[in-house]
Amino acid sequence: MSAAVSFPMKRFLFLLPLALFLVIAGYFAMGLTRDPRVLPSVLINTPVPEFALPSIQGRDRGFASTDLQGGVALVNVFGSWCVACRVEHGFLMQLKQRGEIPIHGIDWREPDREAGPRWLAKYGDPYALIGDDPESRGVIAFGVTGAPETFLVDRQGVIRHKHVGPLTPEVWDRTLKPLIAELRKQ
Amino acid sequence: MKLRLLLILWTWLAAAPALAVDPREVLADPALEARARALSQELRCLVCQNQSIDDSDADLARDLRKLVRERIAAGDDDRRVIDYVVSRYGDFVLLRPRLTPATYLLWFGPLAIVLLGLLALAVFYRRNRADDPAVPAPLSPDERRRLESLLKDGPR
Amino acid sequence: MIVEAGHFALVLALCVAFVQGVLPIVGAARGNAAWMAVAPQAAIAQWLLVAVAFLALMHAYVTSDFSVLNVVLNSHTDKPLLYKISGVWGNHEGSMLLWVLILSLFGAAVALFGGNLPAAFRARVLSVHAWLAIGFYLFILLTSNPFERMLPPAENGQDLNPLLQDPGLAFHPPMLYLGYVGFSMAFSFAVAALIEGRVDASWARWVRPWTLLAWCCLTAGIALGSWWAYYELGWGGWWYWDPVENASFMPWLAGTALLHSATMVEKRDTLKGWTVFLAIVAFSLSLLGTFLVRSGVLTSVHAFATDPARGVFILLLLVFVIGGSLALFAWRGPTLRNTGLFQPISREGAMLLNNLAMMTGAAAVLLGTLYPLFLDAVGGAKVSVGPPFFNATFVPLMIPMIAAMAVGPLLAWKRGDLAAAMKRLWVAAAAAAMVALFIWQMQGDGAIFGALGIGLATWLLVGVLVEWGERIRLFRAPAGEAIGRLVRTPRASLGMTFAHAGLAIAIAGIAASTAWKVESIQTMKPGDTVDVAGYAYTFQGARRADGPNYTAVRGTFTVRKDDRPFATLEPEKRIYAVRSQPTTEAAIRTTFLGDLYAVIGDPEGTEGAFVTRIYFNPLVAWIWAGAMLMAAGGLLSLSDRRYRVGLAAGRRRDAPADASPTRA
C-alpha cells in the first residue's frame, strides 16, 4: 500500500471489502426469506426404506415397508405426547370418513405401551395400519425429525411428498389431493 | 452448543443439558465404544441443531446413538454407518461436511485466504523495499569503483 | 408510570442522538465551535436518558410488574433477586436496551475523558457515534420495545430460562456487550479519521485505549461464557463452535489484530489504511454477530426468538453502518500515506504476521459459520458445518502464529535479526522439546497432539519470559539494576508480557483438556465406588434439595486419593417448576493439574441408584486462568501513563522501553 502501487490498483484494493460485504449482505437478504430449520427430505422419489414395526397394543398387526406396495397411501408420524398431532387429528379423521386414501400411522416414542391406544380411543383412530416405534426405527428410516410429519407414497412404494407439521385442509386441497390424483392415474 | 452466550436465549427447543450418553447404551467392547463415540460426535442432533448426538439428550439423538452402536456392533465400518444416516437425513446431518464440489470453497477457502494473505504480504514488502532507506540498494558497478578508489586513498 | 417514563426517556434519547448526529459534524465542517460543543453535552444526556430507561425496566423486573409483557415472558415472583435483575438482559428486548446503555456509556466516556482530543475531531467522533445509536434506538422502539404493556396484567410470569439463572450468566452479557460495543469507539474514531482524511500517531494513541478496554471486556466475556458452558451444561465441554460463539470470537480476533496494528501506526507511522480497516471490521463483526443471533438466518441454541421484521431491520442497519463505512473507506482510504518502512524480519513484520493469522482465522470462522447459509441461498444442499471443520481449519492456522509469537517481541523495529533472536530463544526451544517429550513418554499413545500442544505452550511461555528477562537485564546486570528496570518497565510492555503468557497458559489448558480428558459413565448405587484418573469416587446417595423456584436432587460423592479423603462433590439435577425444564449443576473441584467434575443424572431402579458421569479434565482451569491473565495484561497496558497523560503530545517516543532489547 505504499506509494509505489499504481493508483487504480490501490482503488480496487480499497473497494474490495465493500464489494465483499455487499455480496454477504445479499446472501443475508436471501437467508432471511428461508427458515433454516426446514430440512428438505432426501428421500423424495426414492423407494420407502425397509422397516418392520410391531403392532401397538390392541391391534393384531404392525406396519412394514412391504405394506406400502400396491396402492397410494399416506404415512403419518404421530405420538400421544405431540401437541401438534392433536391439531391435525380431526382432519385425519375426516379424511378417513370420506374414504379419501388409506392412512398408516407410525406411533412414535410413547411413554408407555398404553399411551398410544388410549389416545386413539379418546380422539378416534384414522389409521389403517399402525406400527409401534418406541426406539425411532421407523422414524429414522423415513428421516423424520419431529412429529407430525406425513409422507405420500405411490403404488410402487416410492416416497413422493413429505409434509412437515400438521396436515390441514388447505395443504390437502392445494398439494396432496392433486398429487394423489395424478399418482393414481399412473 | 452453546456457549456462551448467553445471552441468550430463548431456545426454541429447550437445549436440555444433561447426561447424554447413558450407561445402558455403552458397548462392552471399549474399542467399539470409542468408535461409536467418535462417530456420534460427527453427527448432528437434528432436533437440537448445532449439537452432536453425542452431546444431546434429546430422544431422537439417543435413538440415533443406539442405532450407531447397533450397526457398529453388527460389524459395519464407520463409512457405512455414516452413509446410512446420510441416506436418511442428507448431508445436513454431518458436522464435518463432505468434500464435494459444493464444499470446495468451504474446505479450500481458508487455505486460499492464507495464500492470498501471504501473496499480499510479499507484494507489500517488495514495494516497501523499493524505496526503503533502511535497506540501501546494492551498489552499482560505478559506485563500487568509486568506493574502491576512495578506500584505496585511505583515511584522510 | 415508571415504565412509561422509561419508554419516554428512550424516545428522548433518540431525539438527542439526532441532534448529536447532525450539529457537531456540521459544526466541525464549518468551524462553528458552538455547534461542535453540543456533542459532549448531548452524549452525556443520551447516556442519562438511556440509564433512566434501563432503570425503569429493571424496576419493573424487580417489582415483578406483570403488566409489562417483557417481564411476564421472562420473570417470575419466585425468582431470586439476582436473576430478576439479570433477567432484564436475559431476553432480546432487554439485552438490546443493555446494548444501547453501553453504547451511550462509551459516548459519554469520550465526552468526559476526551478533553485532550481536538475539538473538531471529538465532534466528528461523537456524531458518528450518535448515528450508530440512532440505528439501535430505532431498532428497539420499532421492533423490540421492552416497555410494551400487557392488559390485563398476567397473574405471574413465565420465568427466565433456567439455564440463564446462574451467576456466571448474569454477568456474561454485560461483559460481552462492553466488548462488542466498545469496538464501536474504534469504529467511530476510524470513520471520523476518514472524514478528516488524517490518521497519525496521535490518532492511534486515542484509539488504542478504547480498543484495549473493549478487548479486555470481550476476552473476559468470552471466557465467562465458556466457563459457564463448562459447568452448567454438564458434559465438561467449553467451546462448541456454535454460530453464536463464533459471532463473539470473530470480533475478538479482529480486535486483537487491531491492537497490534494500532501500535504500528502509533510508533511507526505505517499501515494506516489497514488499521482503519481493522477498526471498521472489528465493530462490523460485532454487528454481524448481533444479526446472526437475532435474525433467525442461522440456527443456534442461543438464538433469540426470532422475528423476520427484526431480521430485515438489522440487515438494513448492517448495510447502513458497515456498507457506509466501507464505502467511505474505499473513497478516502487510498489517500492515507504511510511513511514508516520496515523489513519482513522486524517487530512490525511479526505484528503483521499476527494480523495475517488473526484475520485469516477470522475469515475461516466466518466462512464456516456462513457457509450453510450461502449454499442454501444458491439452492445447494443443506449442510452443517460443525466443530470438526473448525478444528481442522482454524487450529492449523494458529500454530505458526503462536510459534512466531515468541520471536516477535525479540525483534527490533524496522529491521530485526532473526538469528540473534533465535539464539536467545534456545532456552525456550530446549524447554519446549523436553516438556513435550516428557509428556509424550508419560502419557503414551494417542497423546502426540497433546504433547505438541503443551510443547508449543512451553515455547511461548518461556519465550515470553526470556524477552521479559532481557528487558530488565535479569541475571545480566546487578540485581539492583534489574529491579530498577523492572519498576521502570512501561506498563504497556508488561501488559504485553502478561497477555502473551496468558495465551501460553490457555493453550496448555486447551491442549491438555482436549487430549487427556477422562470420562466415566455408569450407574451407581449408594456405596459404589469408581476410579477416575487416580481418584476414587464413592457415591453416598442422593436426597432432595429444593430451591426457591426449583426442585432438585443432590447427590453426594466422597472422593479419596491415595486412600485419604480428598473432597466431597455434590452435583445437582434441578427441575425449574415454571418451565419444567431440567438443568444440571455439575460439582467441580479444581486442582492445579485438573478438574474433578461430577454430574448426576436420572434415578435408576429402586435401590437409590443413579446414572452418574464423572470426568477428570486436565488443566482445564488453565484456559480461563490464561484468559483472565490476558485481560489483566490488557488492563495493565491500559493503565500505562502514556495513555493518561500527554495523549496529544503527538509523536514523542518513549525511549528505552520502545527501543528493542537488542539495543537496550
Distance CA C31, CA C25 (A): 10
pLDDT for res B129: 63
CA distances from C407 to A175, C402, C428, C511 (A): 66, 9, 10, 21
Q: Give the span between the Cα atoms of A119 and A79, in whole angstroms.
A: 9
Residue B127 is nearest to which of A2, A43, A143, comparing CB atoms?
Answer: A2
Q: Are residues C87 and C145 in the same domain?
A: yes
For cell 450518535, name the residue.
C130
Q: Over the stretch A162-179, which tens digit does the pLDDT of each residue have?
A: 998 888 999 899 999 999
User: Contact C337/A3, CB-based, under 8 Å?
Assistant: yes
CB contact under 8 A, B10 and C414: no
Residues C390 and C317 in one domain: yes
pLDDT one-digit tens code per residue, C367-418: 999 998 888 888 778 888 989 999 999 999 999 999 999 988 888 888 888 8
The pLDDT of residue C582 is 80
Give C576 to chain A, closest Cα distance, Å. Answer: 20
Q: Is the per-residue pLDDT at B12 higher than 60?
A: no
Are the beta carbons of B8 and C164 closer than 8 angstroms? Answer: yes
CB contact under 8 A, B59 and A109: yes
> Looking at the predicted structure, is the pLDDT value of residue A40 above 70?
yes
Q: Are A28 and C382 a contacting pair at CB < 8 A?
A: no
Q: What is the pLDDT of residue C254?
A: 96
| Cell representation of residue C663 | 539495543
Structural domain contains residue C191: no
Q: List chain B residues with CB under 8 Å of C375.
A: 102-103
Binding partners of A (≥3 Cβ pairs within 8 A): B, C
The last residue of one of the domains, among C394, C410, C426, is C410
pLDDT exceeds 60 at position C661: no
Task: Give the phi and the psi of residue A37 in degrees, each rounded to 5.
Answer: -85, -15
Q: What is the pLDDT of residue C659?
A: 35
Among the CATH numbers 3.30.1640.10, 1.10.8.640, 3.40.50.720, 2.60.120.480, which is that of B30-93? 1.10.8.640
Contacts of C521 in chain B (CB under 8 A): 19, 21-23, 26
Q: Report pLDDT for C277.
A: 94
**Predicted local distance difference test score (pLDDT) of residue A38:** 67
Does the pLDDT at position C362 exceed 90? Answer: yes
The subunits that touch chain C, with at least 3 C-beta pairs less than 8 Å apart, are A, B
User: Rounded distance, CA A97 to CA B80, Å?
Assistant: 44
Let me know if C147 is exposed, middle or buried by CB neighbors in 10 A (0-12, 13-18, 19+): buried
Number of domains in chain C: 3
Q: Are C616 and C593 in contact (CB under 8 A)?
A: no
Span of B8-17, C205-214, C285-294 with lowest mean pLDDT: B8-17
Q: Give the rounded distance of the alpha carbon of C611 from its chain centre.
A: 35
Does C370 contact chain A (CB < 8 Å)? Answer: yes
Asked if A15 lies within 8 A of C330 by C-beta distance, the reply is yes
Average pLDDT in the B11-37 region? 67
Cβ-based neighbour number of residue C439 at 10 Å:
22
Domain that residue C1 falls in = 1-160
Q: How far apart are CA C160 and CA A142, in angstroms?
A: 36
Render the burial of C542-568: b for 16+ CB within 10 Å, e for the rest: beebeeebbebbbbbbebeeeeeebbe
Q: Is B67 on the interface with A (CB under 8 A)?
A: yes
Instruction: Judge whether residue C12 has pLDDT over 60.
Output: yes
Out of B138-147, C247-256, C335-344, give the one with best mean pLDDT: C247-256
Q: DSSP H helical segments within C333-474, as ranges?
A: 347-377, 387-405, 418-424, 426-443, 448-471
* The predicted structure's pLDDT at residue C663: 32
**Which pLDDT value is given to residue C218?**
95
Boundary-marking domain end, from C605, C621, C637: C621
Does the structure show a pLDDT above 90 at A126?
yes
CA distance C254 to chain B (A): 15
Considering the domain architecture, whether residues C136 and C211 belong to the same structural domain is answered as: no
Q: Is C310 on the interface with B (CB under 8 A)?
A: no
Q: Where are the domains of chain B?
A: 30-93, 101-153
Predicted pLDDT at C645: 43
- What's residue A151's pLDDT? 93
C523 belongs to a structural domain: yes
**Record: contact B90-A49, CB cut-off 8 A:** no
The alpha carbon dihedral of C610, C611, C615, C620 has a sign of negative
Flag whether C616 is in a domain.
Answer: yes
C308 touches chain A (CB under 8 A): yes
CB-closest option in A2, A18, A40 to C330: A18
Q: Rounded to whole angstroms, how far apart are CA atoms C291 and C19? A: 27
DSSP state of C320: I
Q: C582 vs B18: CB contact, 8 Å cut-off?
A: yes
Cα–Cα dist B95/C389, whole Å = 7
Q: Is 50 exceeded by the pLDDT of residue C146?
A: yes
Do the domain assignments include residue C484? no
Q: Does CATH number 3.40.30.10 belong to domain A52-185?
A: yes
Angstrom distances, CA of residue B136 to CA of A5, A177, B130, C597:
20, 83, 9, 62
* Lookup result for grid cell 398387526: A61
Q: What is the pLDDT of residues A90-99, one digit of tens each?
A: 999 999 999 8
| Non-local CB neighbours of C389 within 8 Å, separated by 6+ positions | B95, B96, B97, B106, C241, C368
The pLDDT score that the predictor gives to residue C479 is 77
Residue C231: the pLDDT is 86
Inter-chain CB proximity B23 and C522 less than 8 Å: yes
Nearest to A45 by CA among A160, A156, A141: A160
C653: pLDDT strictly greater than 50: no
The mean pLDDT of C56-84, rounded to a whole number, is: 89
A61-70, A136-145, B20-29, C257-266: the lowest-pLDDT one: B20-29
- pLDDT recorded at residue B139: 60
Query: Quick one: C399 and C256 in the same domain?
Result: yes
The residue ranking higher by pLDDT, C478 or C437, is C437
Residue C490 lies in a domain: no
Q: In chain C, what percentage of residues exceed pLDDT 70?
A: 94
Q: Do the chains contact at B16 and C368, CB–CB below 8 Å?
A: no
All partners of chain B with 3 or more CB pairs under 8 angstroms: A, C
Give the model's pLDDT for residue A8: 73
Whether the CB-CB separation of C473 and C485 falls below 8 Å is answered with: yes
Q: Which phi and psi angles does A135 have, rounded to 5°?
A: -115, 20
Average pLDDT over residues C611-639: 93
Residues of B in contact with C169 (CB under 8 A): 6-7
Residue A7 pLDDT level (bands cut at 50, 70, 90): low
Say yes or no to pLDDT of C222 above 90. yes
C482: number of CA atoms within 13 Å, CB side?
Answer: 10
C151 and C266 housed in the same domain: no
